Amino acid sequence: MNKGIVKTEIFMEQIYKEANQATYELVKESKLTAGDIVVVGCSSSEIIGETIGKASGMDVAEVAFRGIYDVLKDNGIYLAAQCCEHLNRGIIIEKDLARRERLDIVNVLPQPKAGGSFATTAYNAFINPVAVEHIKADAGMDIGDTLIGMHLKEVAVPLRISIDKIGEAHLVCARTRPKFIGGERAKYDECIM
């Protein structure tokens, strides 16, 4: 891992492009539609080649956020920004989504060192941001091993896309699918697998 990445304009453009392309592929491969939810956990420290939680940077988080949010917003898909472990991996979402999903709103304001730079950026960018403790997202992006699994629907499927890193951060994507139920005579809808 390269320590001490210099955040040049070219590096920041690369972060935007990688985040944007990864999100585009996630939306396409997951067959997401308007109203769906994508959870994103993002370590700005890992993006610059540092250890998660050790070199949080708002500038890096803002660029990654824009790359992701531009695609989701254009497609009418909700972004759920996962906070870091200091806020028990709470979630920042739009208030209308919290109401739609009947989620209990909790009182906390994410900060770069307590919630993380990505969640703080989301809070500052959303129209009417709120924090909740749990969500069941349709798909997700884990940038820098932030452990988003607790916020995905029950049956998560790893998704291989063309990008496996954003900056220096390891990228893992997932989609979800409905559970299979029934016995040996059951038939399943191939369109939603």
Q: Find the range with the poorest average confidence among 15-29, 102-116, 130-144.
A: 102-116
CB–CB of 44/56 below 8 Å? yes
- Give the pLDDT of residue 51: 73
Q: Mean per-residue pLDDT for 117-131? A: 97
Q: Which residue has the higher pLDDT, 21 or 85?
A: 21
Q: Mean per-residue pLDDT for 64-92? A: 95
CB–CB of 7/29 below 8 Å? no
* Single-letter amino acid code for the residue at 101: E
Backbone φ, ψ for residue 45 (5° rounding): -60, -50
Q: Mean per-residue pLDDT for 118-139? A: 97
Rounded distance between C-alpha atoms, residue 175 and residue 131, angstroms: 23
Residue 55 has pLDDT above 70, yes or no: no
Between helix 58-74 and helix 9-30 the angle, nearest 10°, is: 30
Provide the 8-state DSSP code for 118. Answer: H
Rounded distance between C-alpha atoms, residue 7 and residue 20, angstroms: 18
Q: What is the pTM of this model?
A: 0.90
The domain spans of the chain are 9-179
- Give the pLDDT of residue 2: 45
Q: What is the per-residue pLDDT across 103-120, written as a single tens digit (0 to 9) for each?
A: 999 999 999 888 899 999
Q: Which two tokens stand for residue 167?
A: 């900056």
Residue 71 has pLDDT above 90, yes or no: yes
Confidence of residue 1 (pLDDT cuts 50, 70, 90): very low
CATH number of 9-179: 3.40.50.10360
- Give the pLDDT of residue 40: 98
Per DSSP, helices labelled H in 41-182 are 44-47, 58-74, 95-100, 117-125
- Mean pLDDT, the chain, integer: 92
Give the count of beta carbons closer than 10 Å to the beta carbon of residue 155. 11
Confidence of residue 8 (pLDDT cuts 50, 70, 90): confident
Confidence of residue 64 (pLDDT cuts 50, 70, 90): very high
| Nearest one of 172, 185, 182 to 41, comparing CA atoms | 172
Rounded distance between C-alpha atoms, residue 135 and residue 92, angstroms: 10
Q: Mean per-residue pLDDT for 31-40? A: 98
- Give the pLDDT of residue 125: 97
| Nearest one of 15, 21, 76 to 42, comparing CA atoms | 15
